Amino acid sequence: MPTEVILPKVDMDMDAGLLAQWHVATGEHVEKGAALFDIETDKAAMEVEAPASGIVGHIVAEAGSRIPVGQVVAWIYAENEEIPDLPPGGTISGDTGAAEQEAGRNEVAEVPQPTAPAARGSDEAGAENDSGSPRPRATPAARAAARKSGVDLGRVAGSGPKGRIQADDVMRQQPVSSGPAAVAGLSEAAPPVDWAENQRPLAMTRRKGRAKGHPILLIHGFAADASGWAPLEKALGDAREIIRIELPCHGRSPLVRIGSFREFTRMMVRAFDDLDVAQLHLVGHSLGGAVAAAIADIRPRRIASLSLISPAGLGPEIDGATLYGIARATRTDSLAPWLKRLAARPDAISHDFAKAAMMARMEPELRAAQVELADMLFPDGTQSFDLSAAMARVDTPFKIVWGRQDRILPWRHALRAPDVAGLHLLDKAGHIPHIERPEAVALPLLENFRTGEIPVQQR
Amino acid sequence: MNAPTRQPDADIRELSYSEAIREAMGLALERDERVVLMGEDIGVYGGAFQVTGDLVERFGADRVMDTPISELGGAGVAVGAALTGLRPIYEFQFSDFAALAMEQIVNQAAKMRYMLGGEASVPVVFRMPAGSGTGAAAQHSQSFEAWFGHVPGLKVVQPSTPEDAKGLLLAALEDPDPVVMFEHKLLYKMKGHVPEGWYTTPIGKSAIRRHGKDVTIVASAIMVHRALAAAEKLAGEGIEVEIIDLRSVRPIDGDAIIGSVKKTGRLLCVYEGVRTLGIGAEISAMIAESEAFDFLDAPVLRLGGAEAPIPYNPDLEKAAVPQIPDIESAARRLARREV
Amino acid sequence: MSDDNRPFAIRKYDAARLRDALRKMYLIRFFEEGAEDSYMRGLIHGTMHLSIGQEASAVASCIGLTDEDKITSTHRGHGHCISKGAEVGRMFAEFFGKEEGYCHGRGGSMHIADVTKGNLGANGIVGGGLPIAVGAGLTAKRLNTGAVAICFFGDGANNEGAFHEALNMAAIWKLPVVFICENNKYGMSTSTERSTAVKNIAERAVAYAMPGHTVDGNDFSAVAETVETAIARARAGEGPSLIENLTYRWRGHSKSDRNRYRTKQEIDEWIARDPIQRFRKELIEHAILDESEAEKVATEARQEVEAGIEFAKSGTAPRVSDLARYVYAEENA
């Protein structure tokens, strides 16, 4: 019996090797242990020794071919053994190549091909992507609740940090049952609004302060949102914590149907009560100023100081056309002219400013809600509420800042403020002095804060 | 309930955590001839933390064996003895020194049954005094439970009360597989109810130490007590914290944690080991993969050891591991939806 | 006692025991050649460490043991396993990763062991078995079983901390342990001359107050006699001993070895000192068996190995779903 020579496994993870070179030829004599051929693997090249002494009768694998481990590559015959014409198993090098190619093809076929996301699964994700809007920030629980109740997360305002939608936000967004009566009662112009229940918390954002001192609570005006405070915040510095609450039907706060200024204020007081702050400096602009005055009247002990910027509530006049113009505008081009009326110098309102303002008001529901709010608060272009009595009761440091070029609320309303209020009437400022002249606004405000932080006896 | 499977007639008395462990070892030595204690200075010295105490006087130096300062060899002798029929309890003087014996614990004890196809059993118990707070600095204060928890074949327990210290040690002794028990050094003097007689606390079962609906805190060892103190303060603010005492790091009681998170939607993991790649990572990932995911209503928070060795200076040392105000503030932020 | 000049093994053991020793040496040789061949044919997927050339050390060290006595072995442990009574069929099955293997395919070459025969397992960690053997000695002493623990390790392990810690503890507690260093001159490629401060590893016994002996590990009788003395000492409660069996592995460290650190001449010299041929000649010289009987022993061993390979080939593959079986005790799982 001839001795078979196989391609040995020489590495742990080897299943084939390259037969690099033969050291012997057919018919030659070899000694057991002599080098027979070289194999190369991914890691090394090494000599394979003859397993027996004798004549190399047949070499059945050619140099340069890749051979699977265990495959016979040659036969060694004893000195006196008869060598047949054909090797016991036939030649194999050609087959091997074919087999390898075959295997190669199979391998390629098994590699998962990157496929088009045809089956992009969930309806939730699909709907959001189709609308082109970014995926809303929401907790897993909120997403699960939205899936369950069929609520579109894109229509839910998140009350969590960074506007994150939390489970509660979705729960309160459950559509109010729209029976035939409700449908009939809708005005033709107004798009359907998903009104939330009143209990829904208002959107609130906070920025930590660097030093001690009471936090500052900022309440924005009609048709604005918390982002409008950025210039003033910069001017106020980072010593005190800043808290911003967004009015109902504004920013990320819920869209709610409100029957009166009193109800509007009650929602704000509830949000105010939820704050874990003993005392704070209250700052309000325009409608937010009126709300601030109302809060100061209801919760006097928690107010360290009151600062009102162009506040509403001190007289009947108001530029209703601008209010509705802003509330109804559906594109930047129709919004910008109204915005320019807010400022002393029209060029203070850039195209980018108007565009950003429009971006924040893209939601038709939000616009409809604000129109309805304007209908309630400012019927016939008139301020329906009066805060002068409330302001008269304020006994904390109190300042009012107004722009002399205000075209929305006339600055002369300031003259109706109580005598304890310090008045700061700014030139080159319209209805939005905190955006037009933030430093000039910050100055009296900071003074007001400092006074508010001095114990009463020492004032 | 968090009560272990104790005998119904067992009395309730107060013992310290170390007395409870000693009582467990005494019972075991009495009851089972195969039990031996091994460790450095556990004989007449009574152990570095006086846990073995007077056991050498009661059971003799042949069964309460002082070993040379040879952690690798000592642990290995315990493994070999367990493999051949004894029930050794090997005390590391400090869990930090187990680093010297990782070979025997991880490569041998943990794998022996598996490598031998189930034909061998290594019922050894390794006791590890662990944790910071004693001013012992970087090489005598570590919390390695996650290291050992990473090794299939080991079981890792971390009692937080005297009752569980005794119950888990006896459970470990009865267990046919190697068990590593982490004992927090600051807990040794803590007193609590300890039933008399032989009882076991099941390995792999956590305990709810406080019920609440707002935030789930999963804590282990001394962190359980810090979490309880924080929860008490938060209760005054109307925040109801649920506290799960992990008790076992491996196997981990997933069901209890998942159940609690489904209820609260908010999870805070508090542990003394280094924060990164620690127990909190495992629990967070487990929740993310579980059905509790859909109930999460806030990001999961972890409070763990600082990314630094345990420092010597007492202020730094305190700052290196979670303290009550840290837990309080993190849980408050979660409850108030500020994260 | 009529012929005191005969070698120890011939004097001490009856013919059947000696014939069995020869059979086991052949079994080891053929088992490992069969394993090597199976590996080269791609039938075995892991590497292996062959002890071809070291058969006398394994078999002679175990000839005086009962199933109650324990051994701890090394990564080069097939010989110890067969010496302690394992069947080659189940060993091959383990090699082939089959359920019928001693470790149900979970251990492979480096962990084959028949625990029921007192083999506590081969060990993939150099020095890993040393403290474990001391633990086995502690159990024997504590429970008074009368058993001894034989601790095999290589020359490489004598520089591990575990070696020193284990010898020290066995000595201070006077435990029934026999430490047997199979010194095959190289820890992988590094020679003992380069790695070890003492000339003979047995000299290290002095540091641990125990007897130390250096023996020709290819001389069956010399090994048997030295180990027998150490076992007697251990069983008498006098403590451990350290024995150094000088031997040589003909093959490389493992299948990845390119043999660049030793010469062909050195290998050939050791092959010429084949421990099996030497023992077989000794048995024939002392008329324990004749040439044809010896050949019969070899043939039967070869057949046993071939049958073992066939048994392993036809074995059952473990179910992938059982991957985590045996991590913990079953009642525990």
Query: Closest Cα partner for A57 from A69, A47, A72, A67?
Result: A72
Kindly list the domain boundaries of chain C, sorted by start residue: 22-319
A4 backbone dihedrals φ, ψ, rounded to 5°: -85, 145
C260 touches chain A (CB under 8 A): no
B207-335 folds as Rossmann fold (3.40.50)
Q: C149 forms bridges with which residues in the sheet?
A: C70, C177
Q: For strands B12-16 and B191-195, give the pairing.
A: antiparallel
Q: Is the alpha carbon torsion for B307, B310, B315, B319 positive or negative?
A: positive
Lowest mean per-residue pLDDT among A54-68, A84-98, C20-34: A84-98
- The yes-or-no verdict on residue A191 having pLDDT over 70 is no
- The yes-or-no verdict on residue B88 having pLDDT over 50 is yes
List the B35-39 sheet strands across, edge first. B64-66, B35-39, B87-91, B125-130, B179-184, B155-157, B248-250
pLDDT at A440: 94
Of residues A154 and B332, which shows the higher confidence score? B332
| Token pair 């061949």 in the structure block, residue | C37
Mention every residue, 6+ apart, whose C-beta is less than 8 A from residue A366: A249, A250, A255
Report the mean per-residue pLDDT for chain B.
95
Q: What is the 3-state secondary structure (H, E, C) of chain B?
A: CCCCECCCCCCEEEEEHHHHHHHHHHHHHHHCCCEEEEECCCCCCCCCCCCCCCHHHHHCCCCEEECCCCHHHHHHHHHHHHHCCCEEEEECCCHHHHHHHHHHHHHHHCCHHHHCCCCCCCCCEEEEEECCCCCCCCCCCCCCHHHHHCCCCCEEECCCCHHHHHHHHHHHHHCCCCEEEEEEHHHCCCEEEEECCCCECCCCCCEEEECCCCEEEEECCHHHHHHHHHHHHHHCCCCCEEEEECCEEECCCHHHHHHHHHHHCCEEEEEEEECCCCHHHHHHHHHHHCHHHHHCCCCCEEEEECCCCCCCCHHHHHHCCCCHHHHHHHHHHHHCCCC
pLDDT at C57: 98
Mention every residue, 6+ apart, whose C-beta is less than 8 A from residue B298: A139, A160, A166, B265, B266, B334, B337, B339
CA distance B337 to A163: 11
Mean pLDDT within A182-186 = 32
Cβ neighbours, 10 Å, residue C3:
8
Cβ contacts of B237 on chain A, cutoff 8 Å: 276
Query: Closest Cα partner for B249 from B269, B268, B227, B225?
Result: B269
List the B215-219 sheet strands across, edge first. B207-210, B241-245, B215-219, B267-274, B301-305
Q: Is C272 helix (H, G, I), strand (E, B) or coil?
A: coil
Cα A222 to its chain centre, rounded Å, is: 25
- The yes-or-no verdict on residue A194 having pLDDT over 90 is no
Cβ of A139 within 8 Å of Cβ of B338? The answer is no
Q: Residue C15: exposed, middle, or buried by beta-carbon count in 10 A (0-12, 13-18, 19+)?
A: middle
User: Residue B50 to residues B24, B188, C9, C63: CA-CA distances in angstroms?
Assistant: 14, 9, 54, 47
Per the structure block, which two tokens stand in for C60? 């002679």
Cβ of B297 within 8 Å of Cβ of A276? The answer is no
Work out how many CB contacts closer than 8 A connect A with B: 33
CA distance A104 to A16: 13
Annotation says B193 is catalytic: no
CA distance C138 to C147: 10
Scanning C173-245, the segments in alpha helix (DSSP H) are: 192-195, 220-235
CA distance B269 to B9: 36
Report the mean per-residue pLDDT for chain C.
95
- The yes-or-no verdict on residue B109 having pLDDT over 90 is yes
Lowest mean per-residue pLDDT among A65-74, A134-143, B133-142: A134-143
List the A280-285 sheet strands across, edge first. A204-207, A242-245, A216-219, A280-285, A303-309, A398-403, A422-426
Per-residue pLDDT of A392-421, as tens digits, reads 989 899 999 999 999 999 999 999 999 889
pLDDT level of residue C2 (50, 70, 90 thresholds): low
pLDDT at A173: 67
CA distance B275 to B255: 23
Chain B residue closest in CA terms to A140 = B294
Of residues A11 and B184, which shows the higher confidence score? B184
Distance from CA of A5 to the nearest CA of C (A): 11
- The yes-or-no verdict on residue A382 having pLDDT over 50 is yes
* Residue A185 identity: G
pLDDT level of residue A334 (50, 70, 90 thresholds): confident
Cα B335 to its chain centre, rounded Å, is: 28
Structural domains of chain A, with CATH = 3-107 (2.40.50.100), 142-153+163-175+188-192 (no CATH), 195-458 (3.40.50.1820)
Cβ contacts of B153 on chain C, cutoff 8 Å: 327-328
ipTM of this predicted structure: 0.91
pLDDT at A134: 63
pLDDT at B1: 42
- The yes-or-no verdict on residue B331 having pLDDT over 50 is yes
- The yes-or-no verdict on residue A90 having pLDDT over 70 is no
Helix and strand numbers, DSSP H then E, in chain C? 12, 7
Per-residue pLDDT of C281-311, as tens digits, reads 999 999 999 999 999 999 999 999 999 999 9
Residue of A5, A6, A9 to mutate when probing chain C, most C C-beta within 10 A: A9
CA distance A135 to A127: 10
Report the mean per-residue pLDDT for chain A.
81
Provide the chain C residues 171-190 that lie in CB contact (below 8 A) with chain A: none
Cβ contacts of A68 on chain C, cutoff 8 Å: 42
Distance from CA of C109 to the nearest CA of B (A): 11
Mean pLDDT within C215-236 = 98
Lowest mean per-residue pLDDT among A13-17, A87-91, C4-8, C155-159: A87-91
B78 touches chain C (CB under 8 A): yes
State the DSSP code for C155: G
pLDDT level of residue A89 (50, 70, 90 thresholds): low
Cβ neighbours, 10 Å, residue A359:
9
User: Residue A415 to residues A394, B199, C138: CA-CA distances in angstroms?
Assistant: 16, 82, 99
Per-residue pLDDT of B33-62, as tens digits, reads 999 999 999 999 999 999 999 999 999 999
Cβ contacts of B112 on chain C, cutoff 8 Å: 121
Per the structure block, which two tokens stand in for C49? 């460490």
pLDDT at C17: 97
Q: For strands A16-22 and A204-207, give the pairing.
A: unpaired
Q: Residue B7: exposed, middle, or buried by beta-carbon count in 10 A (0-12, 13-18, 19+)?
A: exposed
Mean pLDDT within A268-295 = 91
Mean pLDDT within B244-253 = 98
pLDDT level of residue B250 (50, 70, 90 thresholds): very high
- The yes-or-no verdict on residue A341 having pLDDT over 50 is yes
Residue of C139, C175, C322 to mutate when probing chain B, most B C-beta within 10 A: C139
Chain B residue closest in CA terms to C137 = B81
DSSP annotation string for A242-275: EEEEPPTTSTTS-------HHHHHHHHHHHHHTS
Query: Closest Cα partner for A66 from A35, A32, A33, A100?
Result: A100
Distance from CA of A27 to the nearest CA of C (A): 25
Q: What interhelical angle do A261-273 and A364-377 show, nearest 10?
A: 120
Mean pLDDT within B260-268 = 95
pLDDT at A190: 37
pLDDT level of residue A275 (50, 70, 90 thresholds): confident
Query: Closest Cα partner for A155 from A180, A179, A172, A178?
Result: A172
| Token pair 């009193």 in the structure block, residue | A262
Per-residue pLDDT of C240-274, as tens digits, reads 999 999 999 999 888 788 888 999 999 999 999 99
Q: Please report, rounded to a whole number, the percentage of residues in chain A having pLDDT higher than 90.
A: 33
Distance from CA of B85 to the nearest CA of C (A): 7
Scanning chain C, the segments in alpha helix (DSSP H) are: 8-12, 15-40, 55-62, 78-83, 88-95, 129-142, 161-172, 192-195, 220-235, 264-271, 275-285, 291-313
CA distance C305 to A356: 84
Cβ of B104 within 8 Å of Cβ of C131? The answer is yes
pLDDT at A113: 41
Superfamily of domain C22-319: Thiamin diphosphate (ThDP)-binding fold, Pyr/PP domains (3.40.50.970)
- The yes-or-no verdict on residue A127 having pLDDT over 60 is no
Q: For strands B241-245 and B207-210, give the pairing.
A: antiparallel
- The yes-or-no verdict on residue A118 having pLDDT over 50 is no
pLDDT level of residue A159 (50, 70, 90 thresholds): confident
| Token pair 């195209």 in the structure block, residue | A351
CA distance A253 to A270: 13
pLDDT at A95: 40
User: Residue A213 to residues A453, B85, B94, C286: CA-CA distances in angstroms?
Assistant: 7, 70, 47, 105
Cβ of A140 within 8 Å of Cβ of B296? The answer is yes
pLDDT at A101: 41
Q: Does B207-335 match B13-195 at the fold level? A: yes
Q: Which CATH number fits domain B13-195: 2.40.37.10, 3.90.79.10, 1.10.10.10, 3.40.50.970?
A: 3.40.50.970
Annotation says B140 is catalytic: yes
- The yes-or-no verdict on residue A151 having pLDDT over 80 is yes
Chain A residue closest in CA terms to B261 = A141
For chain A, how far is it from start to end, CA to CA, in angstroms? 117
Kindly list the domain boundaries of chain B, sorted by start residue: 13-195, 207-335
CA distance A390 to A416: 12
CA distance C256 to C254: 5
Which one of the listed residues B19, B40, B140, B183 is annotated catalytic?
A: B140
CA distance C92 to C109: 9
pLDDT level of residue A355 (50, 70, 90 thresholds): confident
Per-residue pLDDT of C138-186, as tens digits, reads 999 999 999 999 999 999 999 999 999 999 999 999 999 999 999 999 9
Which member of C41, C47, C258 has the closest CB to residue A69? C41
pLDDT at C331: 65
pLDDT at A21: 87
CA distance A389 to A83: 123
